[in-house]
Amino acid sequence: MEAKTYKLLLVEDDTSLGYLLTEYLGMKGFDLRWIQAPSEVMPLLEQRAFDLVILDVMMPGTDGFTLGRQIHDRFPGLPFIFLTARSMKIDVLKGFSVGAVDYLKKPIDEEELVVRIETLLSRLEPVSGAEPETTLKLGRYTFDSLNQKLLIDGEERSLTNRESELLAHLARNRNRLCTHGEILKRIWGRNDYFNRKSLNVFITRLRKLLDADDSLKIENIHGQGFIFRIPGNGDR
């Protein structure tokens, strides 16, 4: 089985360190996006899915602690760590209090950073052999992916296998952009013109299946993909 490529977001205003970590973590197989302005973080997280965010603390405009709290409140399932020169005990405690899963002090050896990231992400992965989550709460709906059914107010709506696979993928990446290529390769097995047309048909079907709850929206991001908006799950 092909190893997963983890998507990391690095928020670091120091240009030299940013370039260094981008090159090194990329060489180690991570898909890393580096941004320097804290103001760009939340809009980017609305558009793209990441496995881990790495935050500096001392940045212009918004400090890392404030940004970490915003991430924790809006994307509670997204882990983030601090990588900072702020090393006093009060800073470390504050970092964990806003929801960080680790607090690393600069300067840090690049090899140690990779080990810490890999260890952290491996702990966040489902335990091998564990049963996947098969029942998801989607607004007023309950989605039973195992039996391919949507339940709402005592009404039961049956889904086809592909409808169920597509809905499960969108739901588990709720409030994040799922690109056309990502969806097609994962569910259809191939990203081409005809499968993209088929994807659009299935999106239309899902919208009809979910039409009893007006708060649920499968939003089309032109030329990119879809975002399944579910209020109360990080979208406010």
* Same structural domain, 72 and 35: yes
pLDDT for 155-165, tens place per residue?
Answer: 999 998 889 88
* Same structural domain, 14 and 120: yes
The distance in angstroms from the start CA to the end CA of the chain is 37
pLDDT for 5-22, tens place per residue?
Answer: 889 999 999 999 999 999
Residue 37 region, left (φ>0) first, then alpha (ψ -120 to 50), else beta? beta
Range of the domain at 176: 135-229
**How far out from the chain centre does Cα 212 lie?**
27
Q: How many domains does the chain have?
A: 2
Token duo for residue 119: 């260890």
For residues 28-36, give the mean pLDDT.
Answer: 92
Query: If you ran DSSP here, which 8-state letter would residue 214 be given?
Result: T
Q: Give the pLDDT confidence score for residue 3 in this predicted structure.
A: 59
* Same structural domain, 194 and 91: no
What pTM value is reported for the model?
0.56
pLDDT for 41-95, tens place per residue?
Answer: 988 888 788 889 999 998 888 889 999 988 888 877 788 999 998 888 898 888 8
* Same structural domain, 148 and 46: no
* Helix (H) or strand (E) segment spanning residue 149: strand 149-152
Q: Give the pLDDT confidence score for residue 45 in this predicted structure.
A: 85
